[in-house]
């Protein structure tokens, strides 16, 4: 089971971090996602297939987090820890599902919207309005804010569970707690505190780094 949890954690980290790095060079992520909708839709026409695949890989990272959460719960409970492990398990599954479902807007919905705008099937104004509506609810609300709330609690609860059973080095658990708190604070960008955008992105990236470290330590 150790190998299963370790491999799943590492795979989820590679999927999330790898897609982030790829999108950084091919799409201008993460700054691009706060740009004017027309700029985003036009940029999607360049390397459209690659961008869609990278976002899909991002979503697969969420799928892997779900599997890792299920497997890690077995280990934590086999060591006699049933409280934090259950909270981490539930939060991990919800986060993974929200990420996978929400990120697919960049693999299907937005490329379709981009094509319709470029082919003059809809005007730029209509495309911009549709993008804003879809992205505000599916993207900024569900996939980013709500999902990151569950991610921060997943990392926090897993860290507390791991610390209580001394399963990995204590610094892994302590680092997880710091990342969880930082991510929760950065997530308050949703309430209009724009300066927290960078904090949000830094700690969401560190969450993938934490999963990688956890997987390596468990194996």
> Taking the domains of the chain in order of start, what are their residue ranges?
2-218
pLDDT in tens, 86-130: 999 999 999 999 999 999 999 999 999 999 999 999 999 999 999
The conformational region for residue 123 under phi > 0 = left, psi -120 to 50 = alpha, else beta, is beta
pLDDT above 70 coverage of the chain, percent = 100
pLDDT in tens, 123-158: 999 999 999 999 999 988 999 899 999 999 999 999
Tell me the average pLDDT of the chain.
Answer: 93
Q: Examine residue 73 and say whether the peptide bond preceding it is cis (omega within 30 degrees of 0).
A: no
Cα angle 183, 187, 193 (rounded to 5 degrees) comes to: 130
Residue 58: CB atoms within 10 Å: 26
């Amino acid at each position: 089971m150790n190998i299963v949890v370790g491999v799943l954690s590492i795979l989820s980290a590679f999927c999330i971090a790898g897609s982030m790095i790829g999108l950084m060079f091919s799409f201008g992520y993460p700054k691009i996602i706060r740009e004017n909708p027309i700029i985003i839709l036009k940029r999607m026409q360049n390397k459209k297939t690659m961008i869609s695949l990278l976002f899909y890989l991002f979503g697969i990272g969420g799928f892997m987090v779900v599997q890792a959460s299920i497997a890690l719960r077995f280990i934590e409970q086999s060591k006699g820890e049933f409280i934090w492990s259950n909270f981490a398990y539930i939060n991990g599954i919800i986060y993974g599902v929200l990420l996978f479902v929400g990120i697919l807007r960049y693999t299907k919905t937005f490329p379709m919207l981009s094509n319709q705008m470029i082919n003059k099937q809809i005007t730029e104004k209509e495309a911009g309005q549709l993008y804003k509506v879809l992205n505000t609810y599916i993207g900024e609300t569900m996939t980013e804010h709500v999902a990151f709330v569950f991610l921060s609690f997943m990392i926090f609860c897993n860290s507390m569970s791991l610390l209580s059973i001394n399963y990995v080095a204590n610094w892994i658990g302590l680092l997880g707690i710091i990342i969880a708190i930082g991510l929760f604070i950065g997530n308050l960008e949703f309430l209009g505190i724009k300066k927290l955008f960078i904090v949000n992105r830094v700690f969401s990236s560190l969450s993938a780094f934490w999963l990688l470290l956890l997987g390596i330590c468990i194996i």
